[in-house]
Amino acid sequence: MTIHKEGYTIIAWSTILFGLFNLLSFYFLSFYSPWLSWIIFFATAALLVFVISFFRVPHRQLTISEQAIVAPADGKVVAIEEVAADEYFSDRRIQVSIFMSPLNVHVNRNPVTGEVVYSEYHKGKYLVAWHPKSSTDNERHTVVYKKGDKELLTKQIAGALARRIINYLKPGMEVKQTDEMGFIRFGSRVDLLLPLDAKIKIKIGDQPKGGVTVIAEW
């Protein structure tokens, strides 16, 4: 396991604050209220462990396949439905939505190998990530991949806790399947808009792993 580069600064500051809080706690409280000092220590230690684990990047055997569309994120499948596309496309598509809790790995990966033909950031609200309108109303970043004559759209969507969407892709880039697409901080959602003839390989309630689980084939 490694730590993602997006977490270096936050983890450094968290470690400094952990040390500072506990130094002050033991200096001012340990003699009069040792139990309170220990509560503060364990509470801040748990918070520091959570922050570090949030930015973890586990070592995995990633899935590389010409026919496969792999999960762009860890999480839970909360929607598989046919929808009218509201951005870039004007036809109907199959939407697969993956909800990411703060406990999930938050690295986002390219679901396919291909050319980035569209990459656009949108300001928006911070509705809870499972809200039906979060896909269209929340802060989000949309990317469209083109592979041969097929195109695939992904949407990184901020949730109630996610306050920063990071995306590394620009139009014209040639990208590889499972390489990093971006990162979302502290709870979020990723949508996939697939062609109607895509063969879906997961179901609602499944918990895919980013870069590993095959979401669909085309």
User: Could you give the 3-state DSSP secondary structure of residue 131?
Assistant: coil
Catalytic residue among 25, 119, 135, 188: 188
pLDDT tens-digit series, residues 74-88: 999 999 999 999 899
Strand order across the beta sheet in which 214-217 lies: 68-70, 214-217, 199-200
The pTM of this model reads 0.84
Q: Which two tokens stand for residue 105?
A: 């790995």
Average pLDDT, the chain: 89
Q: Are 159 and 189 in contact (CB under 8 A)?
A: yes
* pLDDT higher than 60, residue 14: yes
* pLDDT higher than 80, residue 126: no
User: Could you give the 3-state DSSP secondary structure of residue 57?
Assistant: strand
pLDDT tens-digit series, residues 104-123: 888 999 999 999 999 999 88
119 belongs to the catalytic site: no
Write down the residue that tokens 């839970």 correspond to.
Answer: 76
